[in-house]
């Protein structure tokens, strides 16, 4: 039975049952009938969440770029694969066909090879949203090099720590980038980062802003002369299904970012299959995901998922506010976008502006609207549904994570009836469970708990690069035998899931996943700072804003607190990036701590949100008196 595209609720339930009762049979048929394998698998699945070890399609060989490019060439060589819309609306869009994509990726693959990149080597990609980013990602996949894309909004120090963690010897970047009215000197950031990453031997530089950035002799090369010379034929490397395809870093609640490792086979099958169903993509449609390829959303649902389906995927270089707040809608009209996928933070920012911006464009091409990155609040959901979708396009609220590789809980549009703020039902093969504090599964409906997944799906990350122990501790220890997501969720009376937010120390700001620890580490590096703690407080556009409690080494001598706040934010920008800047800073004499020395964030969160009615028992704290002092300073 072919379940490749689900088209009604009854088939969803039937297929879901099959996918849970006989997961191997289910995934084997999806994998066999819809992809190109160089060699079949010996075993569909083996798994052990204790170790943990997960293997899908073991023994199979493939190359994901043959699935994303080559196999479409006989029927779609002149169809647009990537539709590039530049930052500046006056610059023409580029319709990159499958034939051109093939040529560019093969050339880029040959350039990487000529620079000494071999199968298994890590390639750090620090590029803005320009076609070269897509070419480089796919070129790595073509030759079996492991790409590690670092979002080009990250700072030099965030970049170098990611380069060092996976020991990349080559960085692919651009001279600079355009973002709205600004230009950013990306290469200068790379130069700064490489002072801390001396092992990098080669830097390839795409020219985007033509600023004549200085090239370091022997290390740096412009890309264009190399690709001009390169052959447009590069044999696709044969990869084991379980070979790593890429590393992508995500913030953790503690310590350094985690390099999530995704596999070639399972990742391909799952992202392609979810893309086809969750966006109900039909041949000829134009699909647009507004994420940056620096995040997992861009990996899975700008590049791999859509391209594996032979889709036309739009790649936008700019920002929603440039030249004005109507840009997204102008692009939808210009390219007759059929599926539009964005984040609640963007929706809220646009909803604050006049609806004239939306109404000025013809949005009648839209068939499906997607949301991802954080819980979508009721108001934003309705605005999206009414103003953008004109109540005709179902909203797919897609819940997933960097670690999950693909969407796990989501409606299927025109199949699953939607309910505002609910991600609704698990995707095929996904077995969610809500757990209580004693690690017992909560059965029945109208319940709430910690969200776990009981059974592997093909695109689950296989490990954390260089730290399998941390992988086990982070995801497989809190609830033995299950993958723990870090999120809380409720299940309503009809069994729909609603994600309520992180239950750990991760704060989502404008859809960016920020760990409290790295930000606190950055603050604590300030000469005047003794200690700090940050919490998230609700924010009307960003979802959460960062509220920092800072203890100074010498409070009496520091009278210019405004300056200090700016200086702390300068340091955070330097260490992490502007996204992690604090919105509110209060200087306090101490922090509430447990007797084991753990900061009681729960109390700090309540004070920051001015919700002090139920602070709980503070008498067991190491320093109970501090609570009243902090309340006085904050004024609650
Ligand atoms: C965390 C993962 C997956 C791509 C973007 C984020 C939150 C994500 C939703 C949603 C409620 C959501 C969760 C999750 N999240 N999508 N539809 N509803 N929350 O990837 O940076 O790895 O963040 O984002 O808290 O754990 P990420």
Quote the ligand 1 centre to 346 CA distance (angstroms): 14
pLDDT of residue 1: 42
Report DSSP letters for 577-625, one per residue. Answer: -GGG--SEEEE-S---B-TTS-B-HHHHHHHHTT--TT----TTSS-TH
Which residue CA neighbors atom 8 of ligand 1 most closely?
Answer: 373
Residues 6+ apart with CB under 8 A from 560: none
The mean pLDDT value for 184-213 works out to 98
Q: Which domain, by its residues, includes 388? A: 9-211+243-489
Among residues of the chain, what percentage have pLDDT more than 70? 98
- Residue 451 pLDDT > 60, yes or no? yes
The mean pLDDT value for 147-176 works out to 96
Using one digit for the tens of pLDDT, what is the confidence trace for 619-632?
777 888 999 999 99
Using one digit for the tens of pLDDT, what is the confidence trace for 252-289?
656 678 999 999 999 999 999 999 999 999 999 999 99
Using one digit for the tens of pLDDT, what is the confidence trace for 42-75?
999 999 999 999 999 999 999 999 999 999 999 9
Which residue CA neighbors atom 14 of ligand 1 most closely?
Answer: 401
Mean pLDDT of the chain: 95
Identify whether 600 is part of a domain. yes
pLDDT of residue 35: 98
At residue 429, what are phi and psi to the nearest 5 degrees? 85, -5
Q: Residues 407, 450: one domain?
A: yes
- Give the separation between CA 269 and CA 297, rounded to whole angstroms: 16
pLDDT of residue 370: 98
Q: Left if phi > 0, otherwise alpha if psi is -120 to 50, otherwise beta: which for 466? A: left
- State the CATH number of the domain containing residue 581: 3.30.300.30
Using one digit for the tens of pLDDT, what is the confidence trace for 76-109?
999 999 999 999 999 999 999 999 999 999 999 9
Quote the ligand 1 centre to 374 CA distance (angstroms): 5
> Structure pTM?
0.90
- Give the separation between CA 277 and CA 149, rounded to whole angstroms: 26
Q: Among 95, 102, 92, 150, which residue's Cα sits nearest to residue 122?
A: 150
Quote the ligand 1 centre to 401 CA distance (angstroms): 5
Identify whether 22 is part of a domain. yes
Q: Which of 293, 300, 395, 400 to mutate to test the pocket of ligand 1 (most atoms within 8 A of CB)?
A: 400
Identify whether 504 is part of a domain. no
The CA distances from residue 476 to 269, 309, 429, in Å, are: 24, 33, 19
Show the tokens assigned to 398: 């897609």
pLDDT of residue 554: 83
Using one digit for the tens of pLDDT, what is the confidence trace for 575-631?
999 999 999 999 999 999 876 667 888 899 999 999 988 887 777 778 889 999 999
pLDDT of residue 2: 58
Structurally, the chain folds into a number of domains equal to 2
Place of tokens 């995901």: 289
The mean pLDDT value for 435-452 works out to 93
Q: Is 296 in the pocket of ligand 1 (CB under 6 A)?
A: yes
The mean pLDDT value for 346-370 works out to 96
Q: Residues 567, 449: one domain?
A: no
Q: Residues 319, 444: one domain?
A: yes
Among residues of the chain, what percentage have pLDDT more than 90? 88
Q: Residues 126, 178: one domain?
A: yes
Q: Residues 298, 341: one domain?
A: yes
Q: Is 486 in the pocket of ligand 1 (CB under 6 A)?
A: yes
> Any idea of the CA torsion for 99, 105, 108, 110, to the nearest 10 degrees?
-90
Q: Residues 59, 94: one domain?
A: yes
- Give the separation between CA 248 and CA 401, rounded to whole angstroms: 11
- Residue 136 pLDDT > 80, yes or no? yes
Q: Residues 516, 480: one domain?
A: no
- Give the separation between CA 283 and CA 317, rounded to whole angstroms: 24
Ligand 1: atom nearest CA of 502 is 25
Quote the ligand 1 centre to 578 CA distance (angstroms): 20
Quote the ligand 1 centre to 371 CA distance (angstroms): 10
């Amino acid at each position: 039975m072919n379940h490749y595209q689900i088209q009604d609720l009854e088939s969803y339930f039937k297929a879901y049952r099959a996918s849970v009762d006989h997961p191997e049979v289910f995934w084997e048929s999806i994998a066999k009938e819809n992809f190109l394998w160089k060699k079949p698998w010996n075993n569909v699945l083996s798994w052990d969440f204790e170790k943990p070890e997960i293997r899908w399609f073991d023994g199979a060989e493939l190359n994901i770029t043959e699935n994303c490019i080559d196999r479409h060439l006989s029927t779609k060589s002149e169809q647009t694969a990537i539709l590039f819309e530049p930052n500046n609306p006056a610059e023409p869009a580029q319709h990159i066909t499958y034939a051109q994509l093939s040529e560019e990726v093969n050339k880029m693959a040959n350039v990487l090879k000529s620079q000494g990149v071999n199968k298994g080597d890590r390639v750090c990609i620090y590029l803005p949203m320009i076609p070269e980013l897509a070419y480089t990602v796919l070129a790595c996949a073509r030759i079996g090099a492991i790409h590690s894309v670092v979002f080009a909004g990250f700072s030099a120090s965030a970049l170098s720590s990611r380069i060092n963690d996976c020991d990349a010897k080559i960085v692919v970047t651009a001279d600079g980038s355009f973002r709205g009215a600004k230009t950013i000197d990306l290469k200068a950031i790379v130069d700064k980062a490489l002072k801390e990453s001396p092992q990098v031997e080669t830097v390839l530089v795409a020219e985007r802003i033509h600023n004549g950035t200085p090239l370091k002799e022997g290390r740096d090369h412009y890309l264009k002369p190399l690709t001009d010379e390169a052959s447009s034929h590069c044999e696709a490397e044969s990869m084991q299904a379980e070979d790593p395809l890429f590393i992508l870093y995500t913030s953790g609640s503690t310590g350094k970012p985690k390099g999530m490792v995704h596999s070639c086979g399972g990742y391909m099958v799952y992202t392609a299959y979810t893309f086809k169903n969750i966006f109900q993509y039909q041949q000829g449609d134009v699909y647009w995901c507004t994420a940056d390829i620096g995040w997992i959303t861009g990996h899975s649902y700008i590049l791999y998922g859509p391209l594996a389906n032979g889709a036309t995927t739009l790649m936008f270089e700019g920002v929603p506010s440039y030249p004005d707040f109507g840009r997204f809608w102008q692009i939808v009209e210009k390219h007759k976008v059929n599926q539009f996928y964005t984040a609640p933070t963007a929706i809220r920012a646009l909803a604050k502006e006049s609806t004239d911006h939306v109404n000025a464009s013809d949005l009648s091409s839209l068939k499906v609207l997607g949301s991802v990155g954080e819980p979508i609040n009721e108001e934003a959901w309705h605005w999206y549904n009414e103003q953008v979708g004109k109540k005709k396009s179902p909203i797919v609220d897609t819940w997933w994570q960097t670690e999950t590789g693909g969407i796990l809980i989501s409606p299927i549009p025109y199949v699953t009836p939607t309910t505002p703020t609910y991600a609704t039902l698990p995707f095929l093969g996904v077995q969610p469970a809500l757990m209580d504090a004693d690690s017992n599964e909560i059965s029945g409906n109208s319940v709430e708990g910690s969200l776990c997944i009981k059974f592997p799906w093909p695109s689950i990350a296989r490990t954390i690069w260089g730290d399998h122990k941390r992988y086990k501790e982070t995801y497989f220890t809190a609830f033995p035998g299950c993958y723990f997501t870090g999120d809380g969720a409720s299940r309503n009376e009809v069994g729909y899931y609603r994600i309520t937010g992180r239950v750990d120390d991760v704060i989502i700001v404008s859809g960016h996943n920020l760990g409290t620890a790295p930000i606190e580490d950055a603050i604590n590096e300030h000469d005047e700072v003794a200690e700090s703690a940050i919490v998230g407080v609700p924010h009307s556009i960003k979802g959460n804003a960062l509220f920092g409690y800072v203890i100074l080494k010498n409070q009496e001598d520091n009278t210019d607190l405004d300056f200090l706040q700016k200086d702390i934010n300068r340091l955070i920008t330097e260490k992490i990036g502007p996204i992690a800047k604090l919105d509110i800073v209060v200087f306090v004499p101490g922090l509430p701590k447990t007797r084991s020395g753990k900061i009681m964030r729960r109390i700090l969160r309540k004070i920051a949100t001015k919700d002090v009615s139920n602070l709980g028992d503070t008498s067991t704290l190491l320093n109970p008196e501090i609570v009243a002092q902090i309340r006085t300073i904050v004024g609650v």
